[in-house]
Copies of this chain bind each other. A is one copy, B any other.
Amino acid sequence: MNAPIDVVRPVPDVNPGVLLARRLLPPELRAWVDRLDGELRQVCGYQLGLYDEDGRPTGQVIGKLLRPAFTLLCSAAAGGRPEDAVPAAAAIELLHNASLIHDDIMDGDTERRHRPTVWARYGTSLAILAGDALIALGFEALADRHDARTAHSVAVLARSLRLLAGGQDLDLRFESESTVTVHECLAMMAGKTGVLLGCACRLGAARSPAPPDWAVRLEGFGVHLGVAFQLVDDVLGIWGDPAVTGKPVGADLRARKKSAPVAAALAAGGTGPARIADLYSGREPLTDQDVTLLTELIEEAGGRAWTLAEADRQVSAAWDLIDDLDLDGSARAGLGALTASLMNRDH
Binding site for B on A (CB under 8 A): 35-37, 39-40, 98-99, 102, 105-106, 124-126, 128-133, 135-140, 142-152, 154-155, 157-159, 161-162, 164-166, 168-169, 172-173
Chain B residues, CB < 8 A from A102? 128-129, 132
Closest 8 CB pairs of A and B: A139-B158, A136-B161, A140-B158, A136-B162, A106-B125, A150-B151, A143-B155, A143-B154
Q: Which of B99, B106, B128, B146 contacts A155 (CB 8 A)?
A: B146
Question: Which B residue's beta carbon lies closest to that of A108?
Answer: B125
Chain B residues, CB < 8 A from A161? 132, 135-136, 139
| Cβ-defined contact, A169 with B135, below 8 A | no
Number of copies: 2
Q: A105-B124, A151-B145, A155-B143 are in contact. Are A169 and B136 (CB under 8 A)?
A: no
Q: Which of B155, B159, B169 contacts A37 (CB 8 A)?
A: B169
Chain B residues, CB < 8 A from A154? 139, 142-143, 150-151, 154
User: CA A135 – CA B135 in complex, angstroms?
Assistant: 8
| Cβ-defined contact, A128 with B129, below 8 A | no
| Cβ-defined contact, B129 with A132, below 8 A | no
User: CA A147 – CA B147 in complex, angstroms?
Assistant: 6
| Cβ-defined contact, A157 with B145, below 8 A | no
Instruction: List 6 A-B residue pairs with CB atoms under 8 Å apart, sorted by A's residue number.
Output: A36-B165, A39-B173, A40-B169, A129-B168, A133-B162, A143-B155
Chain B residues, CB < 8 A from A37? 166, 169
Chain B residues, CB < 8 A from A106? 124-125, 128-129
* Nearest CB in chain B: distance from A314 CB, A: 22
Q: Which of B136, B138, B162, B173 contacts A36 (CB 8 A)?
A: B162
| Cβ-defined contact, A39 with B139, below 8 A | no
* Given A126-B172, A148-B148, 14 new contacts (CB under 8 A): A35-B162, A36-B162, A40-B166, A102-B128, A124-B124, A129-B172, A132-B165, A133-B166, A137-B158, A139-B157, A140-B159, A142-B154, A147-B151, A154-B154
